A and B are shown apart, each in its own frame.
Chain A
C-alpha cells in the first residue's frame, strides 16, 4: 500500500502551527489532518527546518489482545 506523502516546511508559531508549501506557496493556519506522532504522522528533522509529512494515511499498526 503506497504511502501518500507531501513534504512541507513547518515553522512553529505561538498559538498554532503554520505549514508552508515550498512550491505551491500556500499555507494553512490550522491543520486538521495532522495527527499526533503515534497516530501515524511523523517528523523528519533537517538542518534548521522540519519536514512534516501531512495528508498521509496513518501507517497501520497490527496488534491485538485476547479478550477472554
Chain B
C-alpha cells in the first residue's frame, strides 16, 4: 500500500507519474563547495493534517533538514529549500543521483513519525569549458547594450522611475550586466525579461542563466514588497520554477541580493522566446530588480555524463 504522502519535482499532479527530472549545473565559475537549492511540491493524502519535514542524502554531500510546518489533509504546497545541500566542487563533468526524503509527523514537535516517502533526482554537472561544447550565444552586455533582450510587465508593474539597460552596479563579468528596475503598482506584481532565440540543431541544448534578484523600499528603510517565485519559460511553458505560489505574507520565497545560476534544457532547432519571469507581492511602494549576466546557450551532440 503506498504511503499517503508524496513529494514531486514537477507540476504534474498525482496519480500521473512524476516525470523523471534532472538538475543541470555548469562547473564553469561555480564556487567551491557547490551549493544546491531545490523547490519541491509536497502532498498530504492522509485523513489528518501532518507536519512535513524534508531532507536528502547522498554520499559526499551535506544536506540540511527543512520543517515545512502543518499541511492539511488533502492539501499540497510548494516549498523552496534554499541551500539544502552542498558538496565539494567536482573536478569534471559528473552525473549523480540524490535521494530527497519527505517525512510526515503527527505533532508540531516532529517527534512522532507517521510516514516516510523518498524520491530520487539526477544531478548532472556540465563542464562547458571542456572543449566538447559549442557556445551558440553569449550575452555579457559588456558592449553597454541590452543585446536583444526586452522586458514585459506581466501584471501590476510599471517602469516608473526605473530603467531597463546595461548597467554597472552588479556584474559578474565587468563592465556591464543587464538590469531591469521597475515599480510594482499593484498586487500581485509580475515582470519579466526575455529574448527571442533559435536553438541549434544538436542533441543537447541548454540555456544558462546567471541571475540576481533584489527589492528595496522607495525612499529606503522598511521593505514593502516581496519576491514569491521565479520561472524560466519557453514562450508560455514553464521549464523551471523556484519559490512558491503567490501569497500575501511578508516573506520572500526566492533568493535575493545574491547571484544564482539556473540551467534549463531546450528543444533543438526551434525558435521561441526564452524568459525569466518574477512574481512578487506588493504591500506599498517598492522597487523590484533583476540582473542578468553571462547568459549562454550551449550545445553538443555527444552524450552527457
**Chain A residues at the B interface, C-beta cutoff of 8 Å:** 1, 3, 32-33, 35-42, 44, 57-68
Contacts and interface: CB of A to CB of B under 8 A. Distances in A.
Given A66-B261, A67-B259, 11 more contacts: A42-B17, A60-B240, A61-B10, A62-B38, A62-B240, A63-B39, A63-B262, A65-B30, A65-B37, A67-B29, A68-B31
B35 A65 contact: yes
A66 B17 contact: no
Contacts of B11: 1, 3, 59-60
B143 interface: no
B262 A64 contact: yes
Contacts of B265: 35-36, 38-39
Interface residues of B, number: 48
Interface in B17-47: 17, 19-23, 25, 29-31, 34-40
B231 A63 contact: no
Interface in B209-259: 210, 231, 234, 236-243, 255, 258-259
Given A3-B13, A68-B31, A68-B172, A61 B258 contact: no
B210 A67 contact: yes
B48 interface: no
Contacts of A66: 30-31, 34-35, 37, 83, 258-261
Given A37-B20, A40-B19, A66-B258, A61 B30 contact: no
Chain A residues touching B, majority SS = loop
Contact of B234 (A36, A41, A58, A64): A58
A59 B19 contact: yes
Contacts of A41: 19
